[in-house]
Amino acid sequence: MKKVILEYKHVELIITRIAHQLVENHGSFENTAILALQPRGTFFGKILAQKIKSLFEIDIHYGELDTTFYRDDFRRNNKQLIPNEVNIDFNIEDKNIVLVDDVLYTGRSIRAALDAINAYGRPKSVELVTLINRKYNREVPIQPNYTGEDIDTRANDYVKVDWKDDQCRVWIITDKEK
């Protein structure tokens, strides 16, 4: 079964809300950077960064982080893990880092991201933004600081975040039909 759980307009509202929450906590973003996770988190990350820039007319550091080399499932399944590009043109040392991803599920990607960040320096703090938080499937003790929507799912459900022309719709697909 396939069901839309977030429509375009709803996602737009969420992005505006999270942009406000981030500015409330990080002010001018002078010492804060947004780091979106490759590959799927970059759609959300770019739009969120753009939203903050346009709403508050501030310049922010935006980068993209790839966690492939830090994943804990390398050589543990049949699929070859192919890395993606890293784009970080600022110094991470002593910055407040806001990690952005589309779906938080087992938490293992974020664990890998925390390792990956350290290769670039020691951030002052790290926070996590996620558009969808699948609450009951965590395998490591990681929780988001800012969430678009908390949803209850079973392990064999599939959450699809569909970006088209900077607009987003979120589907939930049950009964393993992908």
Partner 1 sequence: MSALSSKHLLGIKDISKKDIQLIFKTAENFKEVINRPIKKVPSLRDITIANIFFENSTRTKISFELAEKRLSADIVNFNSGTSSVNKGETLIDTVNNILAMKVDMVVMRHPAPGAAKFLSKHIDANIINAGDGTHEHPTQALLDAYTLTEKLGNLSRKNILIVGDIIHSRVALSNIHCLQKLGANVRVCGPPNLIPNHIESLGVEVSYDLKESLNWCDAANLLRIQLERQDDKYFPSLREYSLQYGINQEILNQLDKDIIIMHPGPINRGVEITSQVADSYNSVILNQVENGVAIRMAILYLLSSN
Residues that bind partner 1 (CB under 8 A): 66, 68-70, 74-75, 79-86, 115, 118-121
- Which residue, 13 or 81, has its beta carbon nearer to partner 1? 81
- Which residue, 40 or 121, has its beta carbon nearer to partner 1? 121
Burial 131-155 (b: 16+ CB within 10 A, else e): bbbbeeebeeebebbbbbeebebee
Query: Are the C-beta atoms of 26 and 98 separated by less than 8 Å?
Result: yes
State the Cα–Cα distance between residues 135 and 37, nearest whole angstrom: 20
Give 8's strand partners: none
56 CB-near residues (< 8 Å, 6+ apart): 19, 23
- Which residue, 4 or 81, has its beta carbon nearer to partner 1? 81
Q: Report in angstroms how near the CB of residue 160 gets to partner 1 at its nearest.
A: 21
Q: Report in angstroms how near the CB of residue 65 gets to partner 1 at its nearest.
A: 11
Q: Report in angstroms how near the CB of residue 46 gets to partner 1 at its nearest.
A: 20
Q: Report in angstroms how near the CB of residue 86 gets to partner 1 at its nearest.
A: 5
